[in-house]
Amino acid sequence: MLRSLLKLTWVEIKIFVREPMGVLGTVGIPVLIFLALGKTLGGAPEDASELPTFLGPQLPVFAAVFIAVGSVLSLVAIISIYREGGILKRLRATPLRPQIILSAHVLVKLLFTTVTIALLLLAGRRFFPVAPEASLFSLGLALLFTTVSILAIGFVIASVVPTARFAQPIGSAILYPMLALSGVLVSAEGLPAGWRVVANLLPLTHAVSLLQGIWTGAGWGDHLIEVAALILNFVICIALSAKIFRWE
């Protein structure tokens, strides 16, 4: 089981890097945009108060969440391409289980998300120094934890999206509203009361809140609700996707 997972993950990593445009889009473009934004905005802290928070000091958190959401969309896209192309069907006639196939793709996404975010942190150090209280380990762990939880949403969407053509709109329709309400674009206090309730039910809100807290040096103990919500989200999504997974 583990041997199959590692083998499949390794093959998928190799297949991914064989498509240079995909690598450039996943890793290169976010880093370049981040650097460009950071250079214009981050380097001028005296003007930062005039800007929405996500373009100011919260830009790294915004970038991290945005990259995680991008990974979900590409996870959904690749699984739907595999489904449409009959690759999943061929894998079905082997002892491989759907969870192994999805997990392998999550590991690939996780790896490239990690590489991208690590590059961002390195490149952005000049403009956005990590709050001195935040440990890099704690921050790394928070990023991994939130990304896995967000990717689990991708598990559910990827389990049912019939064709690649549908993958992008369906994925976006689910994730972008979550992103809008998550507190990364507009702070939670800025939302009308009703929307704030909705926002609190969405996993992305808790992901953003946890990342913002850890980024600004808070301890894990201050964010137990967020951690619990993200674990709950993960468990529900995995259970649901195992139930509804379609091979073709």
Partner 1 sequence: MSERPVVQVSDLRKTYGSTVAVESASFEVLEGEIFGLIGPNGASKTTIMECVEGIRRPDRGLISVLGLDPHKDIYKLQHRIGVQLQEAQLQKRIKVWEAVDLWSSLYPHTVDGEALLEQLGLTAKRGSWFMTLSGGQKQRLFIALALINDPEVVFLDELTTGLDPQARRAIWALVTSIRERGKTVLLTTHLMEEAERLCDRVAIIEHGRVIEIDTPQALVSKHCPERGVVFSCDLRDAGAGLRRIEGIEAVTEEGTSYRLEGRGEDFVSHVMRFLSDNEIQVRDFRTVMPTLEDVFLKLTGHGIRD
* Segment contacting partner 1 by CB under 8 A, of 50-58, 68-76, 86-94, 185-193: 86-94
Which one of residues 43, 52, 86, 169 is an interface residue with partner 1 (CB under 8 A)?
Answer: 86
Q: Give the residue among 187, 117, 113, 121 at the shortest CA–CA distance from 150.
A: 113
Site for partner 1 contains 246 (CB under 8 A):
no
Integer angstrom CA distances of residue 66 from 35, 178, 184, 205? 15, 11, 9, 13
Other CB atoms within a 10 A radius of the CB of residue 95 amount to 8
Site for partner 1 contains 7 (CB under 8 A):
yes
Which one of residues 95, 192, 194, 221 is an interface residue with partner 1 (CB under 8 A)?
Answer: 95
Write the DSSP string, 74-128: HHHHHHHHHHHTTHHHHHHTSS--HHHHHHHHHHHHHHHHHHHHHHHHHHHTTTS
Which one of residues 20, 94, 189, 243 is an interface residue with partner 1 (CB under 8 A)?
Answer: 94
Site for partner 1 contains 19 (CB under 8 A):
yes
Encoded tokens for 7 = 């083998």
What is the separation of C-alpha 37 from the centre of its chain, rounded to a whole number of angstroms? Answer: 20
Site for partner 1 contains 85 (CB under 8 A):
yes
What is the nearest approach in angstroms of partner 1 to the Cβ of residue 152? 23
Integer angstrom CA distances of residue 71 from 25, 54, 68? 11, 20, 5
Site for partner 1 contains 87 (CB under 8 A):
yes
Between 35 and 96, whose beta carbon lies closer to partner 1? 96
What is the nearest approach in angstroms of partner 1 to the Cβ of residue 6? 8
Residues at the interface with partner 1 (CB under 8 A):
3-4, 7-8, 11-12, 14-15, 18-19, 82, 85-87, 89-90, 92-96, 247
